[in-house]
Amino acid sequence: MALSPENRAGLDRALEAIAEAEAGPTVADLTGAPTIDHWRPLRSGSHTVVLWGNVSGHPLLGRDTTTTSPLLAIDVEARWARTKSRWYALGRPFAALEAELAKSMGVERPATDFIQFALPGYLPLESPDQLPELLANYIAWVREFDAADRAAAGREG
């Protein structure tokens, strides 16, 4: 079954965002990007990873705690992330806050997930090493979905 025009437009926007993520950000992309602090990647369903954190400078939310749209790419060293909807500048990761809080409590070597919280519908990643594979799998899934829709609608890629 072919997608509705609205759903096809959403899929096309996701494909554009994937292409932008693969190319990496320009200086202009990051200059106006919202910042996400105390960010933590979370799984949502079998295909999707999002970032959870405190966002500032967001065009719709202003300053708030949020989960992002699906994460497509992240470069922790260069301090950026690309989601389906926008670029983000990365502030402090949640792990840094967690370590700081543990130290202030006299815990020198905190266990993984020293600070635990539940966000319904989301699970923390078991290991940060999972992230590249999960993002690659999500992108492959989007592209497979696109190919199936194009075939159903009789369109060429």
SS3 of residue 53 by DSSP: strand
pLDDT at 71 over 90: yes
pLDDT at 144 over 70: yes
Domain locations in the chain as residue ranges: 5-153
Q: Which residue has the higher pLDDT, 156 or 154?
A: 154
Statement: residue 86 has pLDDT above 80: yes
Is the pLDDT higher at 142 or at 45?
142
Compute the distance between CA of residue 103 and CA of residue 107 in angstroms, rounded to an integer: 5
What local confidence, expressed as pLDDT, does residue 64 receive?
Answer: 67
Q: What is the pLDDT of residue 157?
A: 59
